[in-house]
Amino acid sequence: MQNSESNTWMQRSIPISLVLMTALAVHLPLLLLMLPLKSYDTNLHIFFASHYAHHWFDPWNTKWYAGFTQTTYPPLPQQWVALISPLLGLDLGYMAIQLIAILLLAVGVYRFSLLWVSPRAASFAALASVFLGSESFLVYSAGQLPTTFAAPIYLNALPFLFEWVRFRSWSSFFKAIALFTAAAAAHHFTLLFGSFFFAIPVLALAFRDRADGQSVTMRACAMRTILIVAVVSVAIAVVLLPFWIALFRYPVTQTPIPHPSRANYILNPEWGLNYFVIPYGAMILALPYIIVRGSTFARLRPLLFGFWIAFLIGLGGTTPVGHWLLGRAFDVLTMERFSYWATLLALPIVGMMASELVGRFRATAAFALSILAAGTCAAAVGWVTWHPNDAQDFKVNEVAAWLNRDGHDSYRYVTLGFGNKLSRLSTLTDAGSVDGEWNSGRRLPELTHYGVGALTSSKYFGEAGLDSLRAMLRHADYYGLKWVIVRDHYYDPLLWFAGWRPVDSLDDKTITIWSKDGVPPATAVNSSQIPPRWQGLMWGTLPFGSSVIAIFLLLIPARKRHRVRHEYPFPVNEEDLAPGRLAS
Amino acid sequence: MRRGFPLLMTGLALAMMADLAIAQEQGINLPKSIEAGSVFSVRCSGSGEGTVYIVGPGQVLRRDVQLGSTTSFPAGSLTHAGRYLAILSASGSSSDAGSNPVSSFDVVPASEPAKISFLARPSRLPVDIHDAITGAVYLFDTYQNLILTPMPVSFDLTNPSGAGQKRSVTTRDGAAWTAMDSSAHDGTDHFVASAGDVSSARAVVQVAGDACNLRMSVTPSDGKLVVATDPVRDCSGNAVPDGTIVTFTEAANGSKTTVDVPLKRGIAKVEMPEVQGAIFTVASGVSLGNQVRWEK
Amino acid sequence: MNKGGLLAVFIFAVTILLVVAGTRWPVPSAAAYAGGGQVSRTASSPEAAVSNLCDRIRAHAWDDAYNSLANKARFSALDFQHDLNGTYPGLLTYTNLDSFEMQPLHASASDAEIRLRLKWATVVGPSVTTRQLRVVRNGDRWQVEWPITSQPTLAPEVIPVNYLRWDVIDRGAGDDWGMQNVDAPHVRIVDMHPVQRAEGTVILGELLNDDIYPAYVAVTATLLRKDQTPIATEGSFDKISHVLLPKQVTPFLILFPDVTLADVGSVRMTPFSSLIAASADPVIEIQSQHMSPAPDASLSGQLVNQSGQVANVAHVLAAFYDSTGQVVWIADQYVDRALLPQTPTPFDIHIPEDLARKIASERTVVASYSFGGTES
């Protein structure tokens, strides 16, 4: 009897509430430990949020690059962090928004998977999203809040797109528009590439399913598609208008910066581990299944093609596909987000596999899958400790305090050997720097002509990096660059021969402050790039407003619609075959 | 500070309205001028109670008074020199503030200087230059008020041997200045400015000029040549300071060896390669020295 | 096999083919990470053997590089590393190999000679070292015989140090107004001469510390059009010796890229000086300076550190004069080896060929830096 009950339980869908509880149980403690603060980009997003917290309607940030506009980066998640920062502080605010993104992802994966597989398989997919290696990698190692914030919004929008194109549901039309716009306001690349990897398979599915049940003509589907694409395009154009203006006025023509995600993972196994093994984790074992099942079941083929292309691009320089398809963008984008999207696209099929395995092997499969999922998640979370982005962990508070006192902040500074602590320092200090970590926002020729990242890590970019640093130091008087804050004595000879002198040391003499005599106080140097006031008002209103509208629209209950019954490849139990409701 | 600001604003408002004041039964009597920081008293005529506001540059006082009596203010009450207004606001008077009695008076700096700000330039210069040393003083009282009344100031420039130059200048608008010659010998001169009982001293370093009659000699030592200058002096005979760079050059067989050597204890000395027929030259800054040809 | 099966096979096959293609012929960005372009070759030719060695040096895989050498029995791995990077910390110690060039000189079935130019990306600019390598055939592979040069080491010794040192106490922020400060050192430009070069307009000159204290110096120049509007302002950056002891003269060079001298009406020079804590050591002698005529005109010589302390990085600045005594060019070189006491270290400064014929004399100064300390 007991055994029978247990088996019944094994054949049911996992309630989405349980999935959300699992997500909370796994990620809340990790986020409360502030683990993302060790990642590459978390401090960058906190730095942006810090600016919004102080200057919501003024995107001109004077703390980096002698002044740059934050309209070069969609603002939504950072503005949300800024909004709740008075209550929780910036760090905890960031963690709260990140947690919401993780929870939204579980819901989004569930709803997206329902388009392709049974509710039971979809629930497994949702549960798998909690342990997804690529998600943990992006959250705890890469710190890509916008990507992990935009993807769930986008996934949640896709079922509405399907419902609109397939069933002409006006409620879904508006919800889809609101969510797509909010997703774009969170991360423009997600929307741009998501259209190819996610939306096209969903549209293909809608077109494919048009004859089932409530049939609809091809022409009607096409017209609906065109209409929603047009409206979403206009909405995004308006909401992110300052972004487009900045992009067209100052197109990204910088020399590409090398990034290890574009390496060949076989020739450079250390990066293969970082960008393939860790993000995919145990899903690597499922790759044959994903391809075989995705191929053999015709309905899943659009999803399989989306996954395959994202997978190949996500392999970086391991295959020439990214280079062929993306062209110059291949040398500008980082590839880990493609692996992230590939894993999201694979989740419905992985959910189906899990459903089958648990249906067939019961507790044994459940146990094995749990171990694999937990191991994948743990490896991705632990990766930031085993393979730290910044080998030398140190606090920058003392440096910030030094810059903030005795008028030191009248001059600009540059750090050397600070890695990604630069964003943290910039958040804490009032002084401005000529350096920064948001490469697309910089306009100074000393930084854009050499194909290097932040000056603080210039030695890692070889001769080009050092040329860039020398060019900047050469123009120190022009930029009011008086302080060079050094945590790597490699740079000392250059500073010495270029006329800087050590004037102070901090943090138990591990940090030296070098100064140059005769440097005039910093003045505005690129004020022609300051966005006009109306752009500031738009930037402070529309992107954030789009998310508020999306939330309100989602609160409007949808009409229940019975989904057409589909034949799933392995109807291992009744649940898989039962017609379900498309979640909304 | 928090209390001071509203008080100041109230006082200023009353002062503005006081321009329209007309003769009153109530009155306020003050001396025409008082010395900064000194004791003074205010006599308010009339009867009843009132409040006296004294408003001036950077300072406001408020005091409740009994009309018809004299109120004393202790030393140090008013310290900033300038023109002040005293306004009497009687309690129970009409709300028309324009009827408040007003009187003005001056707070002047103390007559004796308490501090001298002395600017002496330069701090360091070569010997024997006419009018090269300048000194300027500003006289202040205890409360940092610039004393504008003319006062005699004495400037003394004394060299280590005791000889010196002396000037006496009377201040004009609180300042006095002078120019003096640097002496013929190097050393640290004391430049003192004094007025009344106060004085201020500065050091003016007078240093040797360029090297003069620079001479060197070459002597063999363990297969090398030791090249050394005689004690290096300027044209007035002052020793050129240690640390001054002397450049030795050895030219032979189409190649050259140079070395910049700092003076130590008055001479520069270095070892150079021994090459038959080498020509040695010496220079310091723009001064050239002798030339030596090395022949064994 | 059904359609789905065929599709799965197709996806597997194409994926594998793409991975093979991406590995065999990496795209440029992947090639850059893979160390120059291709998978590490088998040393099937002399060039491949040298190339593999350089890849290992670039990757700081010292043991692998050492183990690949044919003559490794004659020296240790540490000797090999010191030969490349120096025994004492110097410019090359923490530097990465940026690129390398090979020039085959001779080849036979059993051995070959290759001239190797190693270009290092040092913090102060690129530094090139050249080695002539013998590559020998050993069975089916080639191995490099590394021309080891023994690095000088210092014998244990106590050297009494008695040198001049200056410290500076500036007036504090809390001092009274009018409190006397110590004046900045008096410096003056003793020569200045603008010239037109292919890279732009260049200001050449010399600066003298006319004071009795060491001075930190810098020079900036502003080019003005004929209507006195500014064209550009640039500084001497590292083309000057920034610390001058009393009566010391430094040459300086200021480059204005992309500015034509014909457009320049006048030049506004702004020398800057301030007091600086400094020491009179180390004294560095420049021995055996010799001008080689064009082509390949250069000024070569040896630096001899007369002091007891190691100077980790030395910067040689040379001013070249014509027969009338006017400065015609200023050139410099960073010496990539540490200057050990009493140990000659060579330098070689390239002179532009078109100027070499005009040069009648030269004057050279040396600035140095020691890790963990401040030097002159």
Tell me, yes or no, whether B93 and B160 share the same domain.
no
Best CA proximity match to B12, nearest among B57, B44, B76: B57
β-strands B124-126, B164-170 pairing: unpaired
Residue C73: pLDDT above 70?
Answer: yes
Tell me which of A449 and C334 has the higher pLDDT: C334
Tell me, yes or no, whether B194 and B217 share the same domain.
no
Residue-range domain boundaries for chain C: 31-145, 181-276, 281-369
pLDDT band at C179 (very low <50, low <70, confident <90, very high): low
**Least confident range of A86-95, A452-461, A571-580:** A571-580
Instruction: List chain B residues with CB under 8 Å of C183.
Output: 121-124
3-state secondary structure of A467: helix
Instruction: Kindly report, residue by residue over B126-153, the tens digit of the pLDDT.
Output: 888 899 999 999 999 998 899 999 999 9
β-strands B124-126, B198-207 pairing: parallel
Instruction: List chain C residues with CB under 8 Å of B203.
Output: 180
In A54-188, which ranges are E strands? 60-61, 68-69
Test mutation, C163, C212, C306, chain B, max B CBs within 10 A: C212
State the pLDDT at residue C4.
Answer: 84
Can you give the CATH number for the domain in which B41 is found?
2.60.40.1930
**Least confident range of A471-475, A561-565, C120-124:** A561-565
Asked if C4 and A330 come within 8 Å (Cβ–Cβ), the reply is no
β-strands B133-140, B115-121 pairing: antiparallel
The winner for highest mean pLDDT among A426-440, B46-60, B109-123, C163-177 is A426-440
Instruction: Kindly report, residue by residue over C232-290, the tens digit of the pLDDT.
Output: 999 999 999 999 999 999 999 999 998 999 999 999 999 999 998 888 888 899 999 99
Asked if C29 and A258 come within 8 Å (Cβ–Cβ), the reply is yes
Tell me, yes or no, whether B167 and B180 share the same domain.
yes
Structure tokens at C161: 């140090």
DSSP state string for C50-85: HHHHHHHHHTT-HHHHHHTBTTGGGS-HHHHHHHHH
Q: In sequence order, which residues have a C-beta less than 8 Å from that of residue A386 and are 6 or more positions away?
A: none
Residue A328: pLDDT above 90?
Answer: no
Nearest to C208 among B254, B257, B285 (CB): B285
Best CA proximity match to A488, nearest among A415, A552, A546: A415
Percent of chain A with pLDDT strictly greater than 70: 92
Percent of chain A with pLDDT strictly greater than 90: 73
Asked if B264 and C280 come within 8 Å (Cβ–Cβ), the reply is yes
Instruction: Kindly report, residue by residue over C351-362, the tens digit of the pLDDT.
Output: 998 898 889 889
Residue A495: pLDDT above 90?
Answer: yes
pLDDT band at A449 (very low <50, low <70, confident <90, very high): confident
**Least confident range of A307-321, B138-152, C148-162, C183-197:** C148-162
A260 close contact with C: CB closer than 8 A: yes
Fold of the CATH domain C281-369: Immunoglobulin-like (2.60.40)
Instruction: Say if residue B217 is exposed, middle or buried (CB neighbours under 10 Å; 0-12, 13-18, 19+).
Output: middle
Can you give the CATH number for the domain in which B284 is found?
2.60.40.10
Residue B261: pLDDT above 60?
Answer: yes
pLDDT band at A404 (very low <50, low <70, confident <90, very high): very high
From residue A345, how far is each of A49, A152, A334, A377, C54 by CA, in Å?
30, 12, 19, 18, 43
State the pLDDT at residue C320.
Answer: 94
pLDDT band at C161 (very low <50, low <70, confident <90, very high): confident
From residue A520, how far is each of A408, A410, C9 by CA, in Å?
12, 9, 68
Residue B17: pLDDT above 80?
Answer: no
Asked if B255 and C210 come within 8 Å (Cβ–Cβ), the reply is no
Percent of chain C with pLDDT strictly greater than 90: 57
CA-angle at A216, arms to A211 and A219, nearest 5°: 115
Which option is the CATH number for C181-276: 3.40.50.720, 2.120.10.30, 2.60.40.1620, 3.40.50.2000? 2.60.40.1620
Last residue of a domain, one of B207, B239, B265: B207
What's the CA gap between A477 and B91, in Å, rounded? 63
Tell me, yes or no, whether B94 and B166 share the same domain.
no
Instruction: List chain C residues with CB under 8 Å of B139.
Output: none
State the pLDDT at residue C177.
Answer: 59
Give chain B's mean pLDDT: 85
Test mutation, C285, C303, C349, chain B, max B CBs within 10 A: C285
State the pLDDT at residue C245.
Answer: 92
Averaged pLDDT, A342-350? 97
Domains contained in chain B, number: 3
Instruction: List chain B residues with CB under 8 Å of C363.
Output: 258
Tell me, yes or no, whether B197 and B287 share the same domain.
no
C16 close contact with A: CB closer than 8 A: no
Instruction: Kindly report, residue by residue over A521-565, the tens digit of the pLDDT.
Output: 999 887 788 999 999 999 999 999 999 999 999 888 776 655 544
Tell me, yes or no, whether B99 and B142 share the same domain.
no
What's the CA gap between B173 and C365, in Å, rounded? 53
| Helix and strand totals (H; E) in chain B | 1, 25
**Least confident range of B83-97, B220-234, C291-305:** B83-97
Averaged pLDDT, A43-68? 96
State the pLDDT at residue B230.
Answer: 95
State the pLDDT at residue A195.
Answer: 79
Residue A576: pLDDT above 70?
Answer: no
Nearest to B258 among C164, C247, C286 (CB): C286
What's the CA gap between B272 and B227, in Å, rounded? 7
Q: Do domains C31-145 and C281-369 have the same CATH topology?
A: no
Give chain C's mean pLDDT: 88
Last residue of a domain, one of B146, B177, B207: B207
Instruction: Kindly report, residue by residue over B67-107, the tens digit of the pLDDT.
Output: 888 888 898 889 899 999 998 887 755 444 456 788 889 99
Instruction: Say if residue B141 is exposed, middle or buried (CB neighbours under 10 Å; 0-12, 13-18, 19+).
Output: buried
Residue A362: pLDDT above 60?
Answer: yes
State the pLDDT at residue A390.
Answer: 67
Structure tokens at C358: 């005009």
| Domain boundaries C31-145, corresponding CATH code | 3.10.450.50
What's the CA gap between A34 and A113, in Å, rounded? 31
Best CA proximity match to C201, nearest among C266, C268, C271, C254: C254
pLDDT band at A584 (very low <50, low <70, confident <90, very high): very low
* Chain C residue closest in CA terms to B136: C178
Tell me, yes or no, whether B94 and B49 share the same domain.
yes
Beta bridge partners of B225: B220, B272
pLDDT band at A114 (very low <50, low <70, confident <90, very high): very high
Residue B156: pLDDT above 90?
Answer: yes
State the pLDDT at residue C37.
Answer: 44
Averaged pLDDT, C101-115? 92
Write down the residue that tokens 């390496």 correspond to. Answer: A263
pTM: 0.83
Residue A569: pLDDT above 70?
Answer: no
Averaged pLDDT, C60-73? 90
State the pLDDT at residue A64.
Answer: 96
Asked if B256 and C290 come within 8 Å (Cβ–Cβ), the reply is yes
Asked if C306 and B270 come within 8 Å (Cβ–Cβ), the reply is yes
Nearest to C30 among A288, A317, A462 (CB): A317
Asked if residue B270 lies in contact with residue B234, where contact means CB atoms within 8 angstroms, the answer is no
Å from C18 to nearest chain A CA? Answer: 5
Last residue of a domain, one of B165, B181, B207: B207
B258 torsion bin: left (phi>0), alpha (psi -120 to 50), beta (else):
beta
pLDDT band at A570 (very low <50, low <70, confident <90, very high): very low
What's the CA gap between A438 and A453, in Å, rounded? 9
Q: Work out whether the CA dihedral C25, C26, C32, C33 comes out positive or negative.
A: negative
Residue C36: pLDDT above 70?
Answer: no
Å from B23 to nearest chain C CA? Answer: 47
pLDDT band at A289 (very low <50, low <70, confident <90, very high): very high
pLDDT band at A210 (very low <50, low <70, confident <90, very high): confident
State the pLDDT at residue A561.
Answer: 57
pLDDT band at B6 (very low <50, low <70, confident <90, very high): low
State the pLDDT at residue A563.
Answer: 52
Instruction: List chain B residues with CB under 8 Å of C283.
Output: 259-262, 270
**Least confident range of A48-52, A119-123, A133-137, C87-91:** C87-91
Structure tokens at C308: 């007891």
pLDDT band at C182 (very low <50, low <70, confident <90, very high): confident
* Domain containing residue B245: 211-293
Instruction: List chain A residues with CB under 8 Å of C30.
Output: 262-264, 267-268, 316-318
State the pLDDT at residue C42.
Answer: 67
Residue A578: pLDDT above 60?
Answer: no
State the pLDDT at residue A10.
Answer: 62
